[in-house]
Amino acid sequence: MRLQSRHLVNIVMTLLLGGATLLVLIPLAILFTHIVRMGISSISFDFFTQIPKPTGETGGGMANGIGGSALLIGLASAIGIPYISPSMAVAASPQPYGFPPTYCRASRPS
């Protein structure tokens, strides 16, 4: 009896969760399609290669934003990759007491 009631509650809650998910996704899908329809005409080669124009002028592009993002990713990679590579080598190497390495443990296993 108890197992059947748990199964029934499981089915009801799964259906409620699915309904709530659909209830949230429908307005998001409508909003996304509206934004894509309105903005698809603005996408061109010039949009990616021109710098932004002053407020009030039509046109302009995203060249500064794309360049800044590339610079930020390059700097983060230049700083992060030299530090993560040795860590990956240590993590991949076989350890006498398993993983994590013994110097990372609070106490040694007996």
Residue boundaries of the structural domains of the chain: 2-86
Q: Where are the alpha helices (DSSP H) in the chain?
A: 2-39, 45-49, 63-92
Q: In this predicted model, what pLDDT tens digit does every residue of 9-68 receive, in sequence order? A: 999 999 999 999 999 999 999 999 999 999 888 788 888 888 888 888 887 888 899 999
Alpha helices in 40-62 (DSSP H): 45-49
Closest CA to 68 of 85, 88, 80, 51: 51
Residue 82: pLDDT band by 50, 70, 90 thresholds?
confident
Provide the 10 A C-beta neighbour count for residue 91: 13
Q: With contact defined as beta carbons under 8 Å apart, do 59 and 53 qualify? A: yes
What amino acid is encoded at 13 in this protein? M
